[in-house]
Amino acid sequence: MELLEQDDKKLLQEVSNLENMQKGAYNIRKNGQGIERKTTENVNIITKKDKPGINIYVKDNAKFEYIHIPVILTQSGLTDLVYNDFYIGKNANVIIVAGCGIHNNHHKDSRHDGIHRFFLEEGAKVKYIEKHYGEGIGDGKRILNPVTEVYLKQGSSMEMQSTQIKGVDSSIRETIGKLDANTNFVVTEKIMTNGIQLAKTSFDVELNGENSSTHVTSRSVATDSSTQYFISKIYGNNKCFAHSECDAIIKDNAKVTATPEITANNVEANLIHEAAIGKIAGEQLIKLMTLGLSEKEAEEEIIKGFLR
């Protein structure tokens, strides 16, 4: 990783642990260009010819492979668009770590739009970890708009963990899932906004196959004058199960909107949605303050635990 500068390494550490990255296959993208790549016996990475991005191929029966595909932006005023497609072979079991870190010290906006598509063959399992992070002293915005499309064939499963807890001024996150029989799609997101930041999350999942299931969980904290939107649409088109929940803490002048939509198109579809938005409970603050914490320190501890 000789081409990486110190600021690059700091960003990569935030979104994709550097030590773990070197254990498997990886592709590093900086300011709109691929700068380093490593493949393995079971994982091949090929540059797309028709658009910016890469194709990642995982062989059948590959077990416990690590794949890192971080993106970093250090050039102010840059808009980066990338298309990454993942083809996961039958009965493969892999961990994929993605994410974007933006360092912006200037006045122009920096933006990354990443469109990731996952095609899982029968029996495949994927754990997908996505982290977003922004930093810099400039007043140019740090903008991230990730799109994730998931296509699960019979017996496959995917777990998606998405985290955004610092420095992102605006994000619109879209997740689309289409599930065949005996599949499972689990999504967990954690978001924290402050200042006048905006975060919008949209889930659109179709449970098409018999015994398909999904569990969507959103935990968020909105402070200052920030705004958050959570939109969840789940369609039960067969005998299936779905549970969607949004749990948010709101402070100061922040705003949070949760919009659930569950549609049962089959008599054996079992769909549940839960949503809760509110301030930190007074008894929680009092309990921690009796242990010697100030009110501010108590709030910080409660928020840390909530987003853990």
How confident is the model at residue 1, as a pLDDT?
58
pTM greater than the 0.85 cutoff: yes
In 3D space, the residue among 182, 179, 259 whose CA is nearest the CA of residue 218 turns out to be 259
Q: What is the rounded CA–CA span in Å between residue 21 and residue 27? A: 9
Cβ-Cβ contacts under 8 Å for 19 (sequence gap 6 or more): none
Helix 295-307 to helix 282-289 angle (10° resolution) is 120
- pLDDT tens digits for the chain (308 residues)? 556 777 788 888 888 877 778 789 999 999 999 999 999 999 999 999 999 999 999 999 999 899 999 999 999 999 999 999 999 999 999 999 998 999 999 999 999 999 999 999 999 999 999 999 999 998 999 999 999 999 999 999 999 999 998 899 999 999 999 999 999 999 999 999 999 999 999 999 999 999 999 999 999 999 999 999 999 999 999 999 999 999 999 999 999 999 989 999 999 999 999 999 998 877 888 887 888 888 888 888 888 888 88
How confident is the model at residue 2, as a pLDDT?
57
Q: What is the rounded CA–CA span in Å between residue 33 and residue 56? A: 17
CB 146 within 8 A of CB 189: no
How far CA 11 is from CA of 86, 95, 166, in Å, comes to 24, 20, 12
What single-letter DSSP state applies at residue 59?
Answer: -
Residues comprising the chain, all counted? 308
How far CA 214 is from CA of 187, 228, 237, 265, in Å, comes to 8, 23, 13, 16
* Sequence-ordered alpha helix ranges (H) in 17-122: 18-21
* Sequence-ordered alpha helix ranges (H) in 153-294: 282-289
Cβ-Cβ contacts under 8 Å for 218 (sequence gap 6 or more): 189, 191, 201, 230, 232, 245, 246, 247, 248
* Sequence-ordered alpha helix ranges (H) in the chain: 6-15, 18-21, 282-289, 295-307
In 3D space, the residue among 82, 96, 247, 66 whose CA is nearest the CA of residue 160 turns out to be 96
Residue 25 in tokens = 């296959």
User: Kind and range of the H or E element at 138?
Assistant: none
CA dihedral 118, 121, 127, 131 (to 10 degrees): -10
How confident is the model at residue 249, as a pLDDT?
94
What pLDDT, in 10s, does the model give residues 27-85?
A: 999 999 999 999 999 999 999 999 999 999 999 999 989 999 999 999 999 999 999 99
How confident is the model at residue 118, as a pLDDT?
98
Q: Where are the domains of the chain?
A: 6-280
Return the amino acid letter for 195: G
* Exposure b/e, 260-288, CB count within 10 A at least 16 = b: bebebeeeebebebebebeebeeeebeeb
Q: What is the rounded CA–CA span in Å between residue 273 and residue 253? A: 26
**DSSP β-bridge partners for residue 216:** 187, 244
Q: What is the rounded CA–CA span in Å between residue 15 and residue 73? A: 12
